[in-house]
Amino acid sequence: MEQLFSDPFIWFDAWLAEASATEMIDPNAMCLSTVGDDGMPSSRMVLLKGRDPNGFVFYTNLQSQKGHQLLEHGKACLNFFWRDQGRQIRIQGVAELVDDATADEYFASRARGSQIGAWASAQSRPLASREEMILRTNRLEEEYEGRSVPRPSHWSGFRLVPTSIEFWQAGEFRLHDRFVFTKDEDAWKVSRLNP
């Protein structure tokens, strides 16, 4: 395997670029795991929408289950799995809200239907019928006809600031190659793990 770098973001960017160069659907799809008040983990698939020097950014309804859990507990884990490449990246860290300007900019870049959907969906809460959602969506489309759709105050982004990033490369006879970067003060240290 290639020589280990001192920066896990170099590895992440390279592996994501390789996955993105294939015909794979949503190579930026990741499993987001959060923790509830009862200590039970909860996982769901979300899409990575950005990566900056501080972490990994995704967006959601703040009133959803994941939104509540992230705001309340702040700890989360992301997991990327690219089967065809035989690769996985697991990222643990602390979630922080992105600033309003960042959330506004991303919201404005979304398809209009997705913007309306952010208003229409009371994400994670019970829904009496599909028709109720369709009626709510139609009303909102009429309300915002001919004008831009503002970002709802209950919709924003989180940045997962990593404390550890583990890379896994499938190996023959289950002799996988695993290495983990852990944050030590302001520097990353890397170590290999048994498969």
What residues are labeled active site? 174
Task: Give the list of residues 6+ apart from residue 182 with CB closer than 8 angstroms, or none.
Answer: 163, 164, 188, 189, 190, 191
Rounded to whole angstroms, how far apart are CA atoms 90 and 29?
13
Which amino acid appears at position 115 of this protein? Answer: Q
Q: How far is CA 23 from its chain centroid?
A: 21
For 5, phi then psi, to 5°, come to -90, 165
Contact 108, 102 (CB under 8 A): no
For 34, phi then psi, to 5°, come to -125, 175
Which amino acid appears at position 174 of this protein? Answer: R
Task: Give the list of residues 6+ apart from residue 20 with CB closer than 8 angstroms, or none.
Answer: 27, 28
Burial class (CB in 10 A: 0-12, 13-18, 19+), 126: exposed
Rounded to whole angstroms, how far apart are CA atoms 90 and 114?
28
